[in-house]
C-alpha cells in the first residue's frame, strides 16, 4: 500500500481544522476526490479524534513511542 495519499490526507487534517472535523464527522464527504484503495480507506475509517494524533505522529519523520495501526 502506498502511503502517499494517506499522508496527504493526514497532513491536510493536521493543517486544516475544518477538514479534520469533517474527516471524523463525515468521512465520505471529506475523502471525496481522493483515490484510495480499500485498505487505505479502512485505515482512515479506523481513526478517531482520540487516536489521530498518535497515528499522525507515526507517519513520516515524526518521532513517537510507536505507530498506531487501527484494527
Q: In a 3-state reduction of DSSP, which class is residue 61?
A: coil
Q: Which tens digits make up the pLDDT trace of 39-62? A: 999 989 988 888 898 888 876 544
Q: In a 3-state reduction of DSSP, which class is residue 58?
A: coil
pTM of the model: 0.73
Per-residue confidence band for 10, with pLDDT thresholds at 50, 70 and 90: very high
d(CA 30, CA 20): 8
Question: What CA–CA distances, in Å, run from 62 to 10, 21, 32, 35?
Answer: 13, 22, 27, 25
Amino acid at each position: 500500500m502506498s502511503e502517499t495519499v494517506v499522508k496527504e490526507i493526514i497532513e491536510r487534517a493536521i493543517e486544516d481544522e475544518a477538514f479534520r472535523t469533517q474527516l471524523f464527522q463525515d468521512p465520505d464527504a471529506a475523502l471525496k476526490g481522493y483515490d484510495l484503495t480499500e485498505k487505505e480507506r479502512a485505515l482512515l475509517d479506523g481513526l478517531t479524534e482520540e487516536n489521530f494524533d498518535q497515528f499522525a505522529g507515526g507517519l513520516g519523520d515524526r518521532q513517537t513511542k510507536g505507530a498506531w495501526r487501527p484494527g
